[in-house]
């Protein structure tokens, strides 16, 4: 049988589409939300703020290149999941799955609401938009993205290519205008220099500021998540990561300088939409262009998150940590059920409102995940030194990333403990309880076979025709469902 006609994830993503997919994943809501949070936790000190943005870029680059080793060593979808299971064992990898099941939909829900704010606000000049229209529009956008997300990797990458061009154009417009205003108007340069003399932040606030900055860079993990759909992953995964993060770093620094050139730190932290406030001050007649760029940026970032998160669930199903249904593919070679599940959870969470607190929760949980990943990377280097590694990151990258994220997770608890730290720890412990019950002791509901068969028929999904690289061989199909899948 022709390989391309099999029910399998297809390797459709080359270097160009890989870079645009990463740019689309990283440049999302973060650059329009995080400047406010970074300034707030930097005590409005511009020098500290810009330093945090630069250090976040370095941390993201070293972390991403370390992750690239995972994606090239195990070139399969959800590579980080299989890697953690192999290096640290099932309990620790289940923690990553457990947090992803809830944190990813929560982030999607919040960014969808932010998107609706930008889209619907022009229709309510001079006042806040009502909640009901915003929520209805958010749900419509969310399920439209879900429909696109099950159409397969080729259609998604083309959509991401077009949207990436649009949003990078808008960010370049903001960045270039800021540079011109900084050079032409000396008062802007003087005012920006005066902002460097603000009071230094407390040491306990620095990790919170880092969480805000790192949130803007999140998305680089998506290339490893879709490694099973990348052409020549040994070559393209590290190249795409390095190219995309270099471009993003340059854009982010210039955009933040542009914001600070036009607006005071106080104006930035009191603005609900920094980019729109900037546009109103600089090019009020082109506010619509900024609005379209911001909306497109958030939209494509949402799609990238849905796409990459669904591949993590797909891999977890193949490893026996989720029901078999989550690794079944539709006629577009896409894991439809994970996408539907993510959209359903995000729909439930669509009424989430405290965005900055949510970013801190995501950052705190993500820090714990990164600590575990770097431990696993270092451990596997010594545990399996002869394992073929087409791309090998320097161990100093892994150690440096481990130290940074360990401190980000530990310092806030020591310096300024908050209730949400306890919530996160309780949430993690509850995940281990589910692991013991359903994975370790293999508790199983007999009637679930019937549900599996009915859902296969309803969604027109079936198991992959052939094994992907590095899939665990111990996962087998229940006989009853295997028979049904051959008839679909």
Q: What is the pLDDT of residues 423-467, one digit of tens each?
A: 767 777 777 788 888 777 777 777 777 888 888 888 888 777 655
CB neighbours (10 Å) of residue 165?
13
- Mean local confidence (pLDDT), 303-329: 82
Q: Which of 73-77, 124-128, 194-198, 480-484 has the highest mean pLDDT?
A: 73-77
pLDDT value of position 471:
39
Predicted local distance difference test score (pLDDT) of residue 484: 37
What is the pLDDT confidence band of residue 488, given thresholds at 50, 70 and 90? very low
Q: Which of 185-194, 267-276, 301-310 has the lowest mean pLDDT?
A: 185-194
Instruction: Kindly report whether the global pTM for this prediction surpasses the value 0.75.
Output: no
For the chain, state the CA radius of gyration.
22
pLDDT(419) > 80: no
Q: Does domain 8-441 have CATH number 2.60.40.10?
A: no
Q: Give pLDDT tens digits for 74-94.
A: 887 777 788 888 888 888 888
* 3-state secondary structure labels for all residues of 305-320: HHHHHHHHHHHHHHCC
d(CA 20, CA 15): 9
Tell me, what's the pLDDT at 243?
A: 92
**Domain boundaries of the chain, sorted by first residue:** 8-441
Cα 59 from Cα 61, distance rounded (Å): 5
Hey, how many other C-beta atoms are within 10 angstroms of the C-beta on 451?
12
Q: CA end-to-end span of the chain, whole Å?
A: 17
Count other C-beta atoms under 10 Å from residue 223's C-beta: 28
Q: How far is CA 139 from the centre of its chain?
A: 20
Q: What is the DSSP string of 354-392?
A: -HHHHHHHHHHHHHHHHHHHHHHHHHHHHH-TTS--SS-
Residues of the chain above pLDDT 70, percent: 82
Alpha-carbon separation of residue 126 from 129, 185, 268, 281 (angstroms): 9, 31, 19, 16
For residue 462, list its beta bridge partners: 329
pLDDT of residue 362: 66
pLDDT, greater one: 442 or 480: 442
Q: What is the mean pLDDT of the chain?
A: 77
pLDDT of 470? 40
- b/e per residue, 249-283, with b = 16+ CB within 10 A? bebbebbbbbbbbbbebeebbebebbbbbbbeebe
> Between the CA atoms of 453, 456, 462 and 463, what dihedral angle is there, to the nearest 10 degrees?
-50
What the block records as the tokens of 233 is: 């992953």
Question: Burial level of 102, CB count in 10 A (0-12/13-18/19+)?
Answer: middle
How many CA atoms lie within 13 Å of 385's alpha carbon, on the beta-carbon side?
Answer: 1
């Amino acid at each position: 049988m022709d390989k391309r006609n099999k029910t399998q994830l297809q390797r459709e993503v080359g270097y160009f589409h890989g870079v645009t997919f990463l740019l689309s994943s990283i440049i999302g809501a973060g650059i329009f939300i995080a400047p406010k949070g970074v300034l707030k936790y930097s005590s409005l000190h511009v020098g500290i703020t810009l330093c945090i943005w630069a250090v976040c870029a370095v941390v993201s680059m070293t972390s991403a290149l370390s992750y690239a080793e995972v994606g090239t060593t195990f070139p399969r979808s959800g590579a980080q999941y299989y890697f953690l299971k192999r290096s640290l064992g099932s309990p620790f990898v289940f923690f990553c799955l457990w947090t992803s099941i809830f944190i990813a939909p929560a982030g999607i829900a919040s960014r969808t609401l932010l998107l609706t704010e930008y889209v619907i606000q022009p229709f309510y000049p001079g006042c806040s938009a009502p909640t009901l229209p915003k929520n209805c529009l958010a749900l419509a956008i969310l399920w439209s993205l879900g429909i696109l997300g099950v159409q397969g990797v080729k259609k998604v990458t083309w959509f991401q290519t077009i949207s990436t061009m649009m949003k990078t154009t808008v960010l370049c417009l903001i960045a270039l205008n800021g540079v011109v205003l900084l050079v032409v108007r000396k008062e802007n340069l003087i005012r920006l220099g005066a902002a460097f003399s603000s009071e230094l932040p407390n040491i306990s606030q620095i990790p919170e500021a880092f969480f805000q900055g790192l949130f803007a860079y999140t998305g680089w993990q998506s290339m490893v998540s879709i490694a099973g759909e990348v052409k020549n992953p040994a070559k393209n995964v590290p190249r795409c990561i390095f190219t995309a993060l270099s471009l993003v770093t340059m854009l982010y620094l210039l955009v933040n300088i542009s914001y600070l050139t036009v607006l005071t730190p106080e104006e930035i932290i009191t603005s609900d939409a920094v980019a729109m406030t900037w546009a109103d001050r600089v090019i009020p007649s082109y506010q619509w262009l900024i609005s379209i760029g911001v909306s497109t940026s958030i939209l494509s970032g949402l799609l990238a998150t849905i796409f990459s998160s669904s591949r993590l669930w797909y891999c977890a199903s193949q490893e026996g940590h989720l029901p078999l249904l989550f690794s079944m593919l539709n006629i577009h070679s896409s894991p439809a059920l994970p996408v539907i599940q993510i959209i359903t959870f995000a729909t439930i969470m669509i009424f989430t409102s405290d965005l900055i607190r949510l970013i801190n929760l995501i950052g705190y949980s993500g820090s714990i995940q990164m600590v575990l990943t770097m431990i696993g990377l270092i451990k596997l280097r010594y545990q399996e030194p002869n394992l073929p590694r087409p791309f090998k990151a320097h161990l100093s990258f892994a150690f440096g990333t481990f130290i940074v994220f360990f401190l980000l997770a530990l310092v806030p608890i020591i310096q300024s403990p908050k209730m949400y730290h306890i919530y996160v720890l309780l949430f993690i412990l509850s995940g281990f309880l589910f692991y013991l019950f359903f994975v370790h002791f293999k508790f199983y509901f007999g009637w679930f076979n019937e549900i599996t068969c009915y859902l296969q028929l309803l969604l027109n999904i079936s198991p992959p025709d052939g094994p992907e690289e590095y899939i665990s061989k111990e996962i087998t199909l229940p006989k009853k469902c295997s028979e049904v899948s051959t008839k679909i």
